[in-house]
Amino acid sequence: MTPGEAAAILSIDVDAPLDAVDRAYRAHARRAHPDLLVGASPDEVAAAEAEFVRVTEARAVLRRRATGASDPGGFGAGARDAWAADSGSPHPPGYPAGGDSTRTPYVGFSERAVPRAPSSWLIVTWTLLMLGACAVSFLVGPLPGSVVDLVLRLLPVTAFSVVYALTGHRLVLGAAVILVAVTAVMTFLLASFGSLLSIELLLVPFFGLVSAGRRRRLIHERTAGVN
């Protein structure tokens, strides 16, 4: 890929400074990263994956031009050749090999890898477990049979947890944590076998959804940058 082609891919000038190259890269990577295409068809994911690789290569070419380095990000020719000899692939670690969608490209050779987005079935599983825990809490929890507790605590903590798993927004996580803390206080004050059982059942899917949301947030941070 020539510098002119790389600049065209990133929609910037061929002599753009490094910060402009990185900004353009993040903007394009955010749109092209295949793990952000939730519910997309296999063809759409494959096209996005190919575009992501092109964008990453374009950034490397322009960074190499701007710095005069032989290889950006410290992945030098010796290391690259050793990788090629051991793996049979000419690409540095992190590039998808032969269209293998199980390998997630790096944002940059010297940067942290972009994690894979949590799968939809995993979020659905945690959500169903969360709803089951809410049902148990409604029946035998700190306030058994309380519709008010169901509406003001159990359903909101489930909703906030699921929304965080899907979006990774910290404010939503904060609301969910507050409601879980309220649950813990109620369990302590109204200690019973049912309340202890309900909070234990609630915490497992809660942390599962929080883990999914954290991965989602890392994807946004490492493809779009955090100012």
Segment 91-104, tens digit of pLDDT: 444 444 444 433 44
pTM for the complete prediction? 0.55
Find out whether 216 and 165 touch, Cβ atoms under 8 Å.
yes
Output the CA torsion 19→24→25→26 (10° steps): 90
113 phi and psi angles, rounded to 5 deg: -70, 150
- Tens of pLDDT, residue by residue over 170-186, are 999 999 999 999 988 98
* Mean pLDDT on 47-58: 82
Could you tell me the residue ranges of all domains in the chain?
3-114, 120-218
Cβ neighbours of residue 142 closer than 8 Å, sequence gap 6 or more: 149, 183, 186, 187, 189, 190, 192, 195, 198
The rounded distance, in Å, linking the Cα atoms of 22 and 18 is 6
Burial of 24-62, coded b for 16+ CB within 10 Å and e otherwise, reads bbbbbbbebbbbbbeeeeeeeeeebbebbbbbbbbbbbb
109-166 pLDDT, tens digit per residue, is: 334 455 667 788 899 999 999 999 999 999 988 888 899 999 999 999 999 999 999 9
